[in-house]
Structure 1
Amino acid sequence: MTNSLRKIETLVDGLSFTEVPRWHNGRLWFVDFYTYRVLAVDPDNPEQVETVADIPEQPSGIGFLPDGDALLVSMRDRRLIRRTADGALSEYADLSALAPWHLNDMVVDSQGRAWVGNFGFDLMAGKPMTATNLIRVDPNGQATEVANGLRFPNGMVVAPDGNQLIVAETFGQQITAYDIGAHGNLSGKRAWAKLGPDPETSDVMEFVGGAAFLPDGICLDAEGAVWAADAGHNRVLRLAEGGEILDEISTGDMGVFACMLGGDDGRTLFMCTAPSFNEEERKSTREAAVKMVRVDVPSDGLP
């Protein structure tokens, strides 16, 4: 394992809580939770940050359909919003009948299917942890529950061949994999990498205080390794299937909640950082940032 001392640079700062970075057409897209904006920036012109959408019910996951339109998660009302090239926004799917609590991260595959997670319970109010489901939204907007029993499904990636969905289960302390069938069904659930035991408590703060690994946003590289933001330990880990830690990059005194490989050669690792994930703290401060660091192996798969 490498405990990396690579130089970390700041791309954008002065934000509330950055999440779900996505590299798309030469720019990094990401969200700022508590200013309710989806943003995009060219790393060569970091002072020119564009607001590409305002999502009043709080943005989260970002994906791109085959025609180039963006899909955006609207967390609190549990909807997907479509953004066309001219910036127009419209409802794409209403998932409120299927998702028991706020929508979370999302990945869109090459066929235009969106795979969407949700909290499952009221995290910020400290409610007891409960498992939840995963929802697939087809290109016609039809939504289907395709998996359940996930412990806070978070970042997701689709393997390059389109046949495997990999999901970060934050409160399962693991990365979970499924096989994707021809019609979008999921099967073969397995622990792709497990770094800590299943929770023995339903109390969020008790669990978080003792957790070894809290995977949040993830991305995939060309050697089949997953970079995972470890939300509990101010680091990103590069993991091999099976759980071996191949690399570790510390973010010092800042928490890190998502990561994405991008840049012209796919070797820039973008990281969303903030001092904590506490909603009340983040709403009233502007301490979050997007950081970046160079790595050796380029991106692969989706997003």
Structure 2
Amino acid sequence: MTMRQYATGMAWGEGPRWHDGALWLSDTLGARLWTDASGEWRSAGLDSPSNGLWFLPDGRLVGAMTHERRVGEWADGQWRSYVDLGGIAAGPLGDMIGDAQGNLYVDDVAFNAAAGEAPVPGRIILVRSDHSAAVAAEDVEFPNGLALIDGGRTLVVAQTAARCLTAFDVLADGTLGGRRTYADLAALVGPGAHPDGLWPAEHGVWVATTSAQAIVRAGEGEIHETVSTAPLLPIACCLRDDGALIATVADTHGAPLLDAVKSRTVTTSVVVITKNEQT
């Protein structure tokens, strides 16, 4: 595998998405939305940061607004209201993904780790295409990356605090059932594997493991492939149209991760990881 730098300038890059030949991502610490859709790597300043991003089936970009407990729709250079989750979300919002019907799954992290709040179990919220919302799963320990696999029949969530991936069956109405452990990353990768971003992969999901300094391709109960990002810490990932893996990676400049985040000394870049025969 070959890793090369794609872009710089972010404090903490989350939710990377490749769409129509361009990369989009949220800078949750810098409160900016970054993209090279114009042909240049540029950012738009935000009053409040977005986190997870997703493109709806009709091409509209929506974002989970970290501190506002709502999903926004990107239009005219700003996040306009798409759906208000103030009556259902218990805390900050995290990652977000969607299905072919326009339904969204959103992390309700339930506590603000960066502010030093005590951890409490989080949830996954289902936002249907008609803008109605309901809790789809509870008791998720720091819900983070989300991925739909098996043709949309399975949802996988990264439980960062539990250092594992958990899978759910996606039922016909979009609700979740059949909860089970998908991969125990503490056992399969090591105690430093605190999963963050996910992306669907062949026979499983790509997982950014942060402090384990690797992106792994995990199947149910096994690891198929490991890509080292050392000394950088992978935050989130997605695939480009040609199959290249795109990842946001953090440099803590020698400090412990949480200290670097709290002091805002952490910096993030984007890398492209390709097989040696790819260009």
TM-score by length of 1: 0.82
Q: Which residue of 2 aligns with 1:280?
A: 262
Query: Structure 2 matches for 1:1-303, cutoff 5 A?
Result: 6-41=1-36, 48-51=40-43, 54-84=45-75, 87=77, 89-196=79-186, 211-221=191-201, 223-242=202-221, 244-262=222-240, 264-265=241-242, 267-274=243-250, 275=252, 276=257, 278-282=260-264, 285=265, 287-295=267-275
Count, aligned residues: 269
Rounded to whole Å, the distance in 2 between the matches of 1:270 and 1:286 is 19
Task: Measure, in 1, the Cα distance between the counterparts of 2:218 and 2:152.
Answer: 20
The alpha-carbon distance between structure 1 residues 215 and 12, as it changes in their structure 2 partners (threshold 3 A), is same
Q: 1:231-281: per-residue Cα shift (whole Å, max 9, x none)?
A: 121111111211x2222122222211111111x31x211111112354333
Once residues 163 and 292 of structure 1 are traced to their aligned partners in structure 2, the CA distance between those partners, rounded to angstroms, is 29
Distance apart, 1:193 and its partner CA: 0.8
Q: What is the RMSD of the two structures over their aligned residues, measured on CA atoms?
A: 2.2
Unpaired stretches in structure 2, ≥5 consecutive residues:
none
Does the CA contact (< 8 Å) of 2:147 and 2:155 recur in 1?
yes
- Give, in angstroms, the shift of residue 159 of structure 1: 1.8
What's the CA shift string for 1:161-206, capped at 9, x where partnerless? 2221111111121111111111111100011111237xxxxxxxxx
Q: Tell me if the contact between 2:109 and 2:123 (Cα under 8 Å) persists in the aligned partners.
A: no
Instruction: Give the drift of 1:42.
Output: 6.0
Point out the structure with the larger strand share: 2
Do the aligned partners of 2:46 and 2:78 also contact (CA within 8 Å) in 1? no
What's the secondary structure of 1:8's corresponding residue?
A: strand
Q: Which has the higher contact order (CA 8 A, sep 6+)?
A: 1
* Structure 2 match to 1:301: none
Tell me, what secondary structure is at the counterpart of 1:279?
Answer: helix
Quick one: distance in 2 between partners of 1:171 and 1:59?
22
Q: Which runs of 4+ in 1 moved over 4 A?
A: none
For 2:157, the aligned partner's letter is V
Distance 1:253 1:133, change over 3 A: same
Deviation at 1:295, TM superposition (A): 4.0
**Aligned counterparts of 2:14 and 2:231: Cα–Cα separation in 1:** 18
Contact 1:102 1:120 in 2 (8 A): yes
Query: CA–CA distance in 1 between the matches of 2:86 and 2:232?
Result: 33
- Do the aligned partners of residues 151 and 295 (structure 1) sit closer, same or farther apart at CA in structure 2, a change above 3 Å counting? farther
Question: Residue 139 of structure 2 aligns to which amino acid in structure 1?
Answer: G
Structure 1 position 54, deviation (Å): 4.1
SS at match of 2:203: coil
Letter of the aligned partner of 2:55 in structure 1? F
Distance 1:110 1:81 in 2: 19
Per-residue deviation, 1:98: 1.7
For normalisation by structure 2, the TM-score amounts to 0.89
Is the 1:211–1:232 contact (alpha carbons within 8 Å) kept by the matching residues of 2? no
* Contact residue 11 and residue 29 of structure 2 kept, 8 A: yes
Separation in structure 2 between the aligned mates of residue 88 and residue 38 of structure 1, nearest angstrom: 9
Matched AA of 2:107: G
